Amino acid sequence: MDREAAARSEVSAPAPGTVLKALDQIPDPGGAPADHDATPILIVRRGETVRAYINICPHQGRPLCLPSGKTLISEDRFIVCPFHGASFELDTGAGAGGPGGGVGLKSVAVTVRDGQVIAA
Ligand code: FES
């Protein structure tokens, strides 16, 4: 998936039932990119809360995690873009501060089943 196309909302969500990541591979609290090449997806968790977002920062279109996959979480409730510090509510993806202009993240519907995060 081309990141500019994804940023323009030309993103198709993975088919329901697509396995995106093993839950135990996601730090708690924290995040990790999905094991799904067709669409850049970041999965974040805090305890039993698991959410997924298109892994593109609305500020300049960069990934929301470091190349290692490490995702910066602040105060156990904000995803922080590692490039310029835009922050987003972990639970909703709403813009919460920094240079993103308050624009939120695009959600990807997921569920957890048998220890796997799956597209819903
Ligand atoms: S690209 Fe994320 S804050 Fe700039």
* Tens digits of residue pLDDT in 29-64: 999 999 988 889 999 999 989 999 999 999 999 999
Whether 32 contacts 42, CB under 8 Å: yes
Q: Give tens-digit pLDDT for 93-104.
A: 999 999 988 999
Question: Among candidates 91, 17, 92, 103, which has minimal Cα distance to 56?
Answer: 103
Whole-prediction pTM: 0.90
Residue position matching structure tokens 């569920």: 111
Q: Give tens-digit pLDDT for 67-117.
A: 999 999 999 999 999 999 999 999 999 999 999 889 999 999 999 999 999
CATH, range 3-119: 2.102.10.10
- Which of 79, 83, 88, 105 to mutate to test ligand 1, by most ligand atoms within 8 A of the CB atom? 83
Domain ranges of the chain: 3-119
| Rounded distance from Cα 29 to ligand 1 centre (Å) | 21
Closest ligand 1 atom number to CA of residue 60: 1
- pLDDT at residue 36 in the model: 85
Instruction: Spell out the residues 6+ positions from residue 119 whose beta carbon is closer than 8 angstroms to its own.
Output: 13, 14, 15, 16, 17, 18, 20, 108, 109, 110
